[in-house]
Amino acid sequence: MAYLLPHLNSGWAVDQAIVTEEERIVLIRFGHDWDATCMEMDECLSKIAEKVKNMCVIYLVDITKVPNFNKMYELYDPCTVMFFFRNKHIMIDLGTGDNNKINWAITDKQEMIDIIETVYRGAKKGRGLVVSPKDYSTRYRY
pLDDT classification of 72: cutoffs 50, 70, 90: confident
- Judged against a pLDDT cut of 80, whether residue 13 lies above it is answered with yes
pLDDT of residue 99: 82
pLDDT classification of 2: cutoffs 50, 70, 90: low
- Judged against a pLDDT cut of 90, whether residue 100 lies above it is answered with no
Q: Choose among 42, 88, 46, 85: nearest CA to 61.
A: 42
pLDDT classification of 140: cutoffs 50, 70, 90: low
pLDDT of residue 82: 93
What CATH code is carried by the domain that includes residue 111? Answer: 3.40.30.10
Does any domain span residue 42?
A: yes
pTM recorded for the entire structure: 0.90
Domain that holds residue 39: 7-131
Q: What is the 3-state secondary structure (H, E, C) of the chain?
A: CHHHCCECCCHHHHHHHHHHCCCCEEEEEEECCCCHHHHHHHHHHHHHCCCCCCCEEEEEEECCCCHHHCCCCCCCCCEEEEEEECCEEEEEECCCCCCCCECCCCCCHHHHHHHHHHHHHHHHCCCCEEECCCCCCHHHCC
Q: Choose among 103, 113, 132: nearest CA to 48.
A: 113
Does any domain span residue 121?
A: yes
pLDDT of residue 133: 84
| Residue 72 buriedness (CB in 10 A; 0-12 / 13-18 / 19+) | exposed
The mean pLDDT of the chain is 89
Does any domain span residue 2?
A: no
Does any domain span residue 87?
A: yes
Q: Choose among 112, 114, 81, 78: nearest CA to 99.
A: 81
- Other beta carbons within 10 Å of 52: 19
Total domain count for the chain?
1
